[in-house]
Amino acid sequence: MSHSNLSPGTLIIYTRVDCHLCDEAKAEIRARLGEIEIEEIDVDSDPALTERFGEEVPVGFVGSEKAFKYHPDIRRLRRLLKNARRGD
């Protein structure tokens, strides 16, 4: 799946419907990082994603770099987003 149309510094979160950990992760990210650009992808919308992630959601990526799984690491997210915006 290509995300080439996303701007640098976009956080991609793989999630699913009725996932309380997903809701908690998104709420924490919004509360601590403000209005960052988030692309949310439902893993159940694509069999390949369902197979890839299984029950292991939420998972966040900045570019091709895994930023977190289950619980956001806010310090790591800040660093990855900053580097992505700079083009590192």
Q: Is residue 56 part of a domain?
A: yes
pLDDT in tens, 14-67: 999 999 999 999 999 999 998 889 999 999 999 999 999 999 999 999 999 999
Q: Is the pTM of this model over 0.85?
A: yes
Here the CATH number for the domain that contains residue 39 is 3.40.30
Name the residue range of residue 32's domain.
14-86
Tell me the one-letter amino acid at 25.
Answer: A
Domain assignment of residue 1, yes or no: no
List of E strands, 1-73? 11-15, 38-42, 59-62, 65-69
**CA separation for the pair 25, 70 (Å, rounded):** 7
Structural domain count, the chain: 1
Is pLDDT at 75 greater than 90 in this prediction? Answer: yes
Give the residue among 58, 24, 88 at the shortest CA–CA distance from 79. 88
